Amino acid sequence: MYFDPILSALFCDPEKSALLRCSNIIAGETGEMRLDGTTSKLSQRELGPSRGFGEVKLAHPSTDKHALCHDLLRLAIFAKDTVDANKLQAALTFQINGFNITFFLTRLRQENGLLTFPRSLDELASFVNLKNIHTLLAVTDTFWRLCRTMKEEEVDI
């Protein structure tokens, strides 16, 4: 209730055909799973593709960390699916816990690598090849370059 006017001001714009719906809804990309909120593109009177999602937990003295983590995982899955299905550059998700709100931007830049591991010792020789070694080196390079704490000068404001 407190967040609705702020979120609506951020994500609703009739000129850009954008709508934020905050209710227990099923979005097209989520199958049968329900969300607390979704941002969608409007096309005439029809709802178009989703651009983001939200989950809400009310303020309680003992917050269930498992439920918060489960909601975060659901948001990540929904965001990835909507980026893939709707060919978006990114999807914005938010998680409300009591009076705190956290925003996440999910952006798929590239697939870093795909390998098929050997199912037996007979297939091991075909696994060890130059292409797979390059893929593993690219994945480890990506990990060590990007999966780290950002320095102060790298943070965009």
Q: Lowest mean pLDDT: which of 51-65, 71-85, 141-155?
A: 141-155
> How large is the average pLDDT for residues 89-103?
82
First to last CA, the chain: 29
Task: State the pTM of this model.
Answer: 0.62
**pLDDT for the residue numbered 157:** 46
Q: Residue 56 above 60 pLDDT?
A: yes
CB 90 within 8 A of CB 49: no
> How large is the average pLDDT for residues 40-45?
69
Tokens 């001001």 correspond to 9
Give the integer Cα–Cα distance in Å for 148 and 83. 24
- Written as six digits, the tokens of 36 are 């607390």
Residue 72 makes CB contacts below 8 A (sequence gap 6+) with 55, 95
The DSSP call for residue 149 is P
